[in-house]
Amino acid sequence: MEKLESWLFKLPVPAEKDAHRTLVDWLRINGISHLFQNENRQIQYVNGSDDNGDYLIGRSSVKIHHPSIQPMEVNIDVNEPICISIILPADKIVRPPKLKYEAQSNTTRTKSYVRPYTKTELEQNIIDTALSCGLNTGGYQYEIFGGNDIRVLHKRQNLTVFKKSVLVIYSGYVHDLTLFNQAWNFGVGKQRVYGFGMLRIHNKYDK
């Protein structure tokens, strides 16, 4: 059995900011920006909304001393089934190929663009995510639900974009505790900076 400790907090997201900027500002004010500044970010978050507006729920893999922090502890047993949910991107960022001798080439590079995942691409991403979480390759099931659009503000361009998402709920057994621990502490997949890829454990199929 593996005991995982983490620390939760909830922040309101004002209309003039997005969740990413709200989190970055809060961390800076509290002197802990370093927890969200490298590839293995020790803070993850998910976006949410209710009748009071937008909010984010953050989770740290290291202890944070702040009045709003709530400690959390979960136990993972490879012999017991588990149900987890993860918000994944519904769109793929397509980047142009890198040219080895770009300065000498007459080829004009196209800019990166975004398109929806094909069904095959999305299913492969879901399978790859399960592997990254250490789930048993032959012993899990998943369901896909439509996710909420994630609002992202680009102030320099005075532009607001909405990133499409899907909510994936896996049920099965953890095969590799080391991989699961890594995924729990740092998240999985791409675009985690925008609130994708955080594992959440459920007792049942509640979204």
Q: Write the pLDDT tens digit of every residue in 9-44.
A: 999 999 999 999 999 999 999 999 999 987 778 999
Q: Which two tokens stand for residue 148?
A: 């909420």
95-109, 114-128, 147-161, 192-206, range with the lowest pLDDT: 95-109
Average pLDDT over residues 47-57: 94
Please give the pLDDT value at position 205: 44
Can you tell me the mean pLDDT for 138-150?
90
d(CA 66, CA 26): 11
Instruction: State whether residue 128 is helix, strand or coil.
Output: helix
- Two tokens at 137? 């390759």
Surface-to-core class of residue 3, CB atoms within 10 Å of its CB (0-12 exposed, 13-18 middle, 19+ buried): exposed
pLDDT at 101 over 70: no
Portion of the chain with pLDDT greater than 70, in percent = 91
- CATH (one of 3.20.20.70, 1.10.3720.10, 3.40.640.10, 3.30.70.1210) for 2-202: 3.30.70.1210
Determine the pLDDT at residue 110: 64
C-alpha to C-alpha distance for 2 and 21, rounded to whole angstroms:
33
Kind and range of the H or E run holding 52: none
48/100: higher pLDDT:
48
3-state secondary structure of 157: coil
Residues in the chain: 207
